[in-house]
């Protein structure tokens, strides 16, 4: 699977129905999936979750 490194440009918080929380911090680098058709990408961290691509400043290929 192709992955990318991306820098978060705004703080973003996602809370699941069960209370699990994914917090992305401005200025931090995250490994993600490629862009998806719905304008999201999946962040690979403690939880894998789709987030809006626009919270990141571009994508640099990490793995092919």
Which tens digit of pLDDT belongs to each residue from 12-50?
999 999 999 999 999 999 999 999 999 999 999 988 999
Residue 22: helix, strand or coil by DSSP? strand
- Please say if the pLDDT value at position 54 is more than 90: yes
For 18, residues 6+ apart whose C-beta sits below 8 A from its C-beta are none
**What is the pLDDT, as a whole number, of residue 15?**
94
- Angstrom distance (rounded) from CA 31 to CA 29: 7
How many whole angstroms from its chain centre is CA 20? 16
Distance in Å from the first CA to the final CA of the chain: 6
């Amino acid at each position: 699977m192709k992955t990318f490194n991306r820098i978060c440009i705004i703080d973003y918080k996602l809370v699941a129905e069960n209370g699990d929380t994914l917090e992305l911090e401005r200025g931090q680098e995250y490994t993600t999936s490629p862009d998806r058709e719905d304008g999201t990408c999946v962040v690979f961290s403690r939880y894998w979750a789709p987030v809006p691509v626009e919270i990141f400043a571009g994508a640099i290929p990490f793995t092919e």
